[in-house]
Amino acid sequence: MSTETINPRDPQDPRDPRAKGHTLQGAGGFMRSGKVRDLFDVGGGAADGRLLLVASDRLSAFDVVLPTPIPDKGRVLTGLSRFWFAETRDIIPNHLLGTSPNDLPKDFTDAAGKAELKGRMMLCRKAKVLPVEVIVRGYVAGSGWKDYKRTGSICGIELPAGLRESDRLPEPIFTPSTKEEVGHDQNIGFDAMVELVGGPVAEKVREVALALYRRGAEVAERAGILVADTKFELGTAVDTGELILIDEVMTPDSSRFWDAADYEPGRAQDSFDKQPVRDWLERQPWDKTYPGPELPAEIVADTRRRYIAAFERITEARFDRYLQEDVIAS
């Protein structure tokens, strides 16, 4: 049971950076690697066991894990998720149990392993992940813009005529998708989601997802950041059966963040994410299969800067202090 959507591509391909090993060589309980996170079983039994989720600095683009890491990216993802779990626990309980290496069993890893875990680990409740991607959109962007231009709707939801690219929607919309083992996820309507998870669960997920988005958008907008869209992961806790929020929450990897100061409807917006990487890759003679090209130093630095800016603006905390003290504070 995992709290991350695992990349279906087999990481045993020696060209895949994950084949070189996970973030904690020598630690026990390793289960598997996703695109970004490594998952460990910390023990405790099937009913009340715990999972260790470790965010690496790996970066994926076009469904390929690239050979060049982005320094401290995993710590940005973990720190932001920790912030959002605290900000949203009145809306829905979450999987987070602990964030300190000292919360792990005594002999789980050595001193070097604990240093590597600092700022990038989450000790979690086990959960059965829902078989849908929980997506909320607040603006007309990305695939939603393409859908709207073609159909006048987004994922089957009718919208007013005359919207421009990047326009704010009248109300946020819930647009779930499938979790495909091969190829890209497919957008589905709410009725199709009901077929997958049942009516009561689907209704609850939609209610929670919209509430989470509204809370996140409100907090981020105070920091001058617009949350154009975001993806949540929800599951049912193995110990209690309750619906809980899992994985990562409103990070540059799971969300489209825009700078409010530069926001201009009618065009695509610059994002606090890996857009510099995607733009650079599009200019390379690369067929978007393994192995991906090494990234130049300036692209790595620009991407790292964007991730850290998102962390500091949203949390109002200093990232250097987070690195040193493992606390989210100014």
Q: What is the pLDDT of residues 292-302, one digit of tens each?
A: 999 999 999 99
Q: What is the pLDDT of residues 88-116, one digit of tens each?
A: 999 999 999 999 999 998 888 889 999 99
Q: Which two tokens stand for residue 259?
A: 């700078």
Q: What is the pLDDT of residues 165-175, one digit of tens each?
A: 999 999 999 99
* CATH T-level assignment (fold) for domain 129-274: D-amino Acid Aminotransferase; Chain A, domain 1 (3.30.470)
Residues 93 and 81: their CA atoms lie apart, in Å, by 13
Residue count (the chain): 330
Nearest to 15 by CA among 73, 71, 63, 64: 64
Per the CB < 8 A criterion, the answer to whether 66 and 295 are in contact is: yes
Residues 195 and 93: their CA atoms lie apart, in Å, by 25
pLDDT score at 1: 34
pLDDT score at 330: 87
pLDDT score at 185: 77
Q: Which two tokens stand for residue 68?
A: 């060049």
Handedness of CA 96, 99, 103, 107 (dihedral sign): positive
- Tell me which of 21 and 83 has the higher pLDDT: 83
Residue 15 has φ and ψ, to the nearest 5°, of -80, -15
Bridge-based pairing of strands 96-98 and 132-139 is unpaired
Residue 79 has φ and ψ, to the nearest 5°, of -60, -45
- Give whole-number Cα distances, 215 to 89, 209, 234, in Å: 11, 10, 17
Q: What is the mean pLDDT of residues 125-135?
A: 96
Identify each DSSP E strand in 260-329 by its residue range: none
Domain boundaries, the chain: 129-274
Whole-number average pLDDT of the chain: 90
Torsion angle in degrees (nearest 10) through CA of 314, 24, 59, 258? -10
The crossing angle, in degrees rounded to 10, of helices 297-315 and 73-88 is 20
pLDDT score at 191: 94
